[in-house]
Amino acid sequence: MNTVAVILAGGAGMRLWPWSRREFPKQFLSLIGSECLFTSTLRRAAKIPGVIELLVILGLDQKFLAQRVIAECDFGVPVMFVVEPFPRNTAPAILLAACDVVQRHGDVHLAVLPADHLVTDQEGFVSASRLALAAVSQGELAIMGIKPSYAEPGFGYIETDDSGQSVRPLVSFIEKPDVERATQYVASGRHFWNAGMFFMGSKRTLDLFEAYQPLIMQAVTEYLRTGENDVFRDCPSLSFDYAVMEHIDSAVVVACDFGWSDLGSWSGVQSSNVRDADGNVCQGDVLAIECKNSLLYSDHRLVVGLGLDDIVVAETQDAILVAHQKSSQKVKKIVELLEEKGRSEAKRRAIEFRPWGSFTVLEDDPKFKVKRLDVLPGKRLSLQRHQKRTEFWLVVSGKAIVVIGDETLNLNTNDTATIPCGTIHRIENPGLEPLCIVEVQVGTYFGEDDIERFEDDFGRL
């Protein structure tokens, strides 16, 4: 039977702050190697036997990022999207995907995969997927269980029997244990890490939700029927494990060992990476002097560590994290505190991606703001105006077609333009190369909500 790979790409990855933010989550970061986790997941999913489509489930904020990644790669099969209006955990996301698949393809196999996990043995993953799909063909629901290599209290566990078979019956799910219990699980031979990878039939998925989660089923089907976002907002927020897996009568576990990590914390990133002779992991413009067992990640500027031991340093343009390795699981609390204080650093980075490209805030002063605009070839911003600011543009590289009121200008490198407050305007990149513009805003307010759109190529009116 044909298979649709469902990629869950809506997670926030808050334990990897400040690199990972809600609007730029870890699946789009190059944490290990040069390729982002999202791209690696799509490549891996495209190799699953019988795959006819990759179906990505994500929020609107992530869709633009995902589209840019997909435009740069050829995965050999079509890539489709389902957008969640609000994040509601994995159960509603999987049900949305299953409803979409059944409507377009009928009863096929589903391979549900998180977009932000690391797998180093690609062939081992494909072989395990083949076993899982064979079980699905026999009417089973299969879940990947990773053979634990150490006692990790930050992971969920799956209990099976001790038969030693590659495919075993599921006995129970276990939430994140303490270190003592995790140590016992590793030694038992009956417990595996829960990788959050599920294989099942698309129509059976609908039947399971109908039986065990009628409220989620009702909310999702009503949302699909009406298109009303508030209906989905009221949907119960539950994981698929809790909503469905813990209720079913039978399922199987595929015992795996294909170099898996969920990269759920900075310590997880360090343990999954190549270390230097002193046990350090460094990325970016970094100097580690007399440091041991530390992680230093630079995104924007030079970072120097001197005499550090078991320390995490993660730098971005607008925030720096310094923490002990033992505290890396607690980074999520920092994000929650920033959200309580209304700090933008909890949600977004200095660079923000848009369907036309991106902008980076270079200076944010109460009296002015300076941005760098990078417009992709063939793209244009919306036709818009601002009521509270005047803008000055300098073309740094590339060519631009600029609309200012009733006038249309062709600007080249080093050309400038002024957009008075209240004037309708637009930027377009007509060339084959990226367009870079430095924008200076002067006025009384510089928020992104001071935008009145009249035309937009991306449906944002």
Is residue 51 a contact partner of residue 77, using CB atoms and an 8 Å limit?
yes
Superfamily of domain 351-455: Jelly Rolls (2.60.120.10)
Helix axes 202-212, 90-105, angle to 10 degrees: 130
- The predicted pLDDT at position 218 comes to 95
Q: Calculate the alpha carbon distances from 31 to 36, 209, 216, 269, 456 in Å.
A: 7, 35, 34, 7, 34
Determine the Cα–Cα distance for residues 33 and 434; give it in Å rounded to an integer. Answer: 25
- Compute the C-alpha angle 155/156/161, nearest 5°: 125
**HEC assignment per residue over the chain:** CCEEEEEECCCCCHHHCCCCECCECHHHCCCCCCCCHHHHHHHHHCCCCCEEEEEEEEEHHHHHHHHHHHHCCCCCCCEEEEEECCCCCHHHHHHHHHHHHHHHHCCCEEEEEECCCEECCHHHHHHHHHHHHHHHHCCCCEEEEECCCCCCCCCCEEEECCCCCCEEEEEEEECCCCHHHHHHHHHHCCEEEEEEEEEEEHHHHHHHHHHHCHHHHHHHHHHHHHCCHHHHHCCCCCCHHHHHHCCCCCCEEEEECCCEECCCCHHHHHHCCCCCCCCCEEECCEEEECCECCEEEECCCCEEEECCECEEEEECCCCEEEEEHHHHHHHHHHHHHHHHCCCHHHCCCCEEEECCEEEEEEEEECCEEEEEEEECCCCECCEEECCCEEEEEEEEECCEEEEECCEEEEECCCCEEEECCCCCEEEECCCCCCEEEEEEEEECCCCCCCCEEEECCCCCC
Which residues of the chain fall short of a pLDDT of 50? none
- The predicted pLDDT at position 258 comes to 94
- The predicted pLDDT at position 151 comes to 85
- The predicted pLDDT at position 152 comes to 83
The answer regarding whether domain 3-261 maps to CATH 3.90.550.10 reads: yes
Beta bridge partners of 109: 3, 201
- The predicted pLDDT at position 353 comes to 86
pTM: 0.89
Q: Any residues with CB less than 8 A from the CB of 62 and at least 6 apart, and which?
A: 9, 10, 23, 25, 27, 28
Q: Which two tokens stand for residue 204?
A: 């059976």
What is the per-residue pLDDT across 351-393, written as a single tens digit (0 to 9) for each? 888 889 999 999 989 999 999 999 999 999 999 999 999 999 9
Q: Any residues with CB less than 8 A from the CB of 210 and at least 6 apart, and which?
A: 217
Determine the Cα–Cα distance for residues 108 and 111; give it in Å rounded to an integer. Answer: 10
CA 94 from chain centre, in angstroms, equals 16
